[in-house]
Amino acid sequence: MSIGDSVASPVTSEPALDPFPELTAERDRLRFSRACRDAMIRRFESLDPNASADEITKEYIEVTVAEALDDLRTPGAGEFFGRITEEGAAADTWYIGRRHIEDDRHEPVVIDWRAPIAAPFYRATHADAFGLAHRRRFTLADGTLTAYLDEQLDDPDHDAAGSGIPDPVLAEIGAARTGAMREIVATIQAEQDVVIRAPLDQVLVVQGGPGTGKTAVGLHRAAYLLFEHRRRLVRDGVLVVGPNRVFLDYIGNVLPSLGERSVQQRTALDLCVPKVDITGVDDAEARRWKGSEEMLARLETVSVEHVKVPDDDLRVPLGSRTLVVTRDEVAEWFTQALDARGPVNRRRDALKGLVQRDMLRRYDRDDVWEKAPVLRAALTKAWPTQQPIRLVDQLLPGPSGKRRRWTVADQFLVDEANSLLVGTPFTFGHVVVDEAQDHSAVALRCIGRRSPAASLTLLGDLAQSTTPAGQRDWDDVLRLLRAGVGVAAAEVAHLTIGYRVPAPILDVANRLLPHTGVATQASRSVRLEGEPPAVTLVDSAALADAVAASVVAVRHRHHNSGVVAPEPLHAAIAEALATHGLQAVDRVHDLGHTDVPVFHAEAVKGLEFDGVVVVNPHEIFDGSERGARLLYVAMTRAVQVLQFVTDQPLPPALST
């Protein structure tokens, strides 16, 4: 491995005097690429949709041109971050970037990172070069190419050292946070790339510890699948399901920066229909019960309990005749209809066809359904149309009707009932689910139904499962989804390398894993530098002021900081921060200079900060498996610095 120039070369008028000719050549290549991008923009701008033969073609051209222009005008278009050279005498060289750029002869100047030919850039190692002889990584600062790093992949004598990850990549991974998630196309690692490019038609579970890049991988997978299967997925849609609105704000800019603006981003609760007015709150046991597989089975049972075969034979006037329809005949109609596929209320519609068929056979009449209102009324009474909200209302204990205080868990039950009775109103070609381990069985079924093709990517970490009805085993999740949508293919992939949390912090956090009650593999960090967590022990009366002082100290070193504290302490912490001219906020987007995000442990999941102050970790831990997972989450939000401020000693689990 040889390192190219680490500083910008001086501009000279005599190329022969240039001490860094190769860097200069790459800068020229960058200028050429940008010029090609600008030429592509001009070509698209010059297209006249009005010259098309019909309105449909005109509209298609307008949409295509608008999308292409948005893509080419995205920051980073026209730039490249890598170069690969294939093995052999006639080896081709390819530049890898965020967008496809071509010259006026339509020859590729920059290859889109999602193209198959770009995969070796991410996966090649000295042990398996994937047909490459050489790889080059570029560093750009404010649009200027400042350095490059070369790897001679066909060198059999190369001895990889350290983490095996080049220093420029580590520098990018460890760069200061801005309060929003960034795309990682220049730093994708081999195990991440395998997940990103996995086949579309499957349920893919991605298990990974904190900082292994699960969220980023999931979003880049969505962008990759849209590139690879654009026609299908643009038609059917792609959905990203996040745990809460804070998280969706946090990831909001990633897909647009990758050129994908059509992906819908919602919480699982947003998917539920019909809506109920949520005014109540369940305790932990109620959340567990309402979100369980047992409740799914109970709902499926009660969804057909209202179907009752009449006790007596039916006498049906038909003109001058009276037809006798026996109870057994009605029971056979009902059995056949119930055995059909589809929602219960739609299966009821099959009765018409069954009646017409039998009446035609028995009486050579094909108009009995229309001309026998007594028969229609009797069957409608025996099989009434059921409403999902009413069904759940009757199923649940407590006050009913207008007196019921609906909860979040109830809303998911209503969605399940709606699916059983009416069907799923909107679906997608692929669904990406972050923090999947926190969803109940009922919520997972709600999400799974949104992809009839069973094309889903579930991202999560069982050690971070913190909700009462959350998951403890991915096999259970796959079994549940198989039962719900008929999954044919399923896989659990593992991300084991951490990039966010420095090793001295992650090593301490990993001490909590034996206390989480789940079997997971501890991730290892490639960031060997850093400081172990610091501890400030104070009296309870001085706790809030000590938290504020710690935040100020962290901000002197790292601008982006966050506080994780038990919710009852938030008001006091906000007052203490205010004495330093700082404002406590409950968001991570659009942060002002004086804003300090303050969250409880469950709400901070999926976020990251340069510096994290964890308050009273013993309260978060509380001796329970759920508490161990919550503290694990809180500690692993730190990218640079972790400080404990507490009025009690640290939980013993952290010292063993």
Lowest average pLDDT, out of 31-35, 65-69, 572-576, 636-640, goes to 65-69
Give per-residue pLDDT as tens, 478-530: 988 877 665 568 999 999 999 999 999 999 999 999 999 999 999 999 999 89
Nearest C-alpha neighbor of 525 from the set 652, 644, 643, 636: 636
Instruction: Judge residue 426's burial from the number of C-beta atoms within 10 Å of its C-beta, 0-12 exposed, 13-18 middle, 19 or more buried.
Output: exposed
Nearest C-alpha neighbor of 645 from the set 622, 611, 604, 602: 611
CB atoms within 10 A of CB 542: 14
Give per-residue pLDDT as tens, 74-109: 889 999 999 999 998 888 999 999 999 999 999 999
CB atoms within 10 A of CB 504: 16
Instruction: Judge residue 553's burial from the number of C-beta atoms within 10 Å of its C-beta, 0-12 exposed, 13-18 middle, 19 or more buried.
Output: middle
- In three-state secondary structure terms, 315 is strand
Alpha helix positions (H), 199-292: 214-228, 230-236, 245-251, 254-257, 268-271, 284-290
Lowest average pLDDT, out of 13-22, 118-127, 319-328, 632-641, goes to 13-22
H or E element that contains 409: helix 408-421
- 8 Å CB contact between 294 and 419: no
Tokens of 566: 């038990």
Tokens of 200: 């579309």
Give per-residue pLDDT as tens, 119-130: 999 999 888 999
For position 158, what pLDDT does the model report? 57
For position 166, what pLDDT does the model report? 66
Q: How confident is residue 290, by pLDDT bands cut at 50, 70 and 90?
A: very high
Tokens of 441: 């069985």
Give per-residue pLDDT as tens, 144-172: 999 999 999 987 665 544 456 666 666 66
Tokens of 118: 């770009």
Separation of alpha carbons 456 and 61, rounded Å: 31
Nearest C-alpha neighbor of 448 from the set 416, 411, 408: 416
Separation of alpha carbons 284 and 290, rounded Å: 10
Q: How confident is residue 4, by pLDDT bands cut at 50, 70 and 90?
A: very low
- 8 Å CB contact between 510 and 212: no
For position 1, what pLDDT does the model report? 34
pTM of the model: 0.87
Q: How confident is residue 14, by pLDDT bands cut at 50, 70 and 90?
A: low
Q: Name the residue with tokens 């200028």.
A: 31
Distance of alpha carbon 640 from its chain centroid, rounded? 24
